[in-house]
Amino acid sequence: MRLTLYILVMVGTVNSTAAQIAADHDGGNDGYRVQCNSAAPQAAIIACTRIINDKREDSDGRLMALQNRGYYYQAIGDLDRSIADYISVLQIATGRTKSKILLNLGQLYAQQGDQSNALASYGEALSLDPKLASAYINRAALFIKLQNADQAIADLDRAVQLTPKDPEIYISRGSVFAHSGDQTDFIRYQHLVWKKMHDGRVPWRWPFGRTGISWCAKPGMTR
């Protein structure tokens, strides 16, 4: 019942917003482009849809509107429509834009529990842009969920090579050791990160909350 009420209120808001947007634009898409790029999600979705459906719009404008509308659908939790828009973008996008859309698709599929399509999307993104560190990080997170520690570590190692000053990647990599029960490697790796931070090669963080637990878990070890 609460969900139904929310939907009814949202639809009412969208219709009111649509009327206002229509009143604000008397031809051409310049005003709609502004709304599509920077408005609140519901208003932006309406403006982007106006651009997408305008047969006079060029391919670049339609690509921008599809990409933005997919983002806004994702922001409001409408994953199916977001996926549909991103798939449409893939049909006309190239290069770096395409790899980033595939990354977004991977995240959406992972949210839906569709691990097969998520892995495929991350893999295709990396085939287009092997230096897309965020794709390695997201795929590693999925491998961790699938309890595939070796693949997760391999992806995180590659991410470290691409972004060596991001402390969160080091922390994630150490966590893989911890979750897999490899306390010795976890301790060794955390000390390596500590040294990198001390030497100024990695910004300071406090990733070592589990280190003491790891020492306690090792028979015969004291610290």
Write the pLDDT tens digit of every residue in 192-211: 666 666 565 555 454 444 43
pLDDT value at residue 23: 39
Pairwise CA distance, residues 82 & 88, whole Å = 10
Domain that holds residue 87: 12-93
CA 70 to chain centre: 13
Q: What's the domain count of the chain?
A: 3
How many Cβ atoms sit within 10 Å of the Cβ of residue 20?
Answer: 11
pLDDT value at residue 185: 62
Cα–Cα separations (whole angstroms), residue 8 to 11, 13, 15:
5, 9, 11
- Mean pLDDT check: name the lowest of 12-21, 91-100, 109-118: 12-21
**Quick one: what percent of the chain has pLDDT higher than 90?**
44
Does position 20 have pLDDT exceeding 80, yes or no?
A: no
Q: What is the pLDDT of residues 140-188, one digit of tens each?
A: 989 988 989 889 989 988 998 998 877 777 777 777 766 665 566 666 6
The arithmetic mean of pLDDT across residues 126-133, rounded, is 95
Q: Which residue among 118, 141, 162 closes a domain?
A: 162
Does 62 reside within a domain? yes
Q: Residue 141 in 3-state DSSP?
A: helix
Q: Which residue has the higher pLDDT, 89 or 4?
A: 89
- CATH number of the domain that residue 157 is part of: 1.25.40.10
User: Looking at this protein, which amino acid is placed at residue 25?
Assistant: H
pLDDT value at residue 1: 26
Same domain, 70 and 39: yes
How many residues are given for the chain? 223
Does 188 reside within a domain? yes
Give Cβ neighbours of residue 177 (< 8 Å, ≥ 6 apart). 149, 183, 185, 186, 189
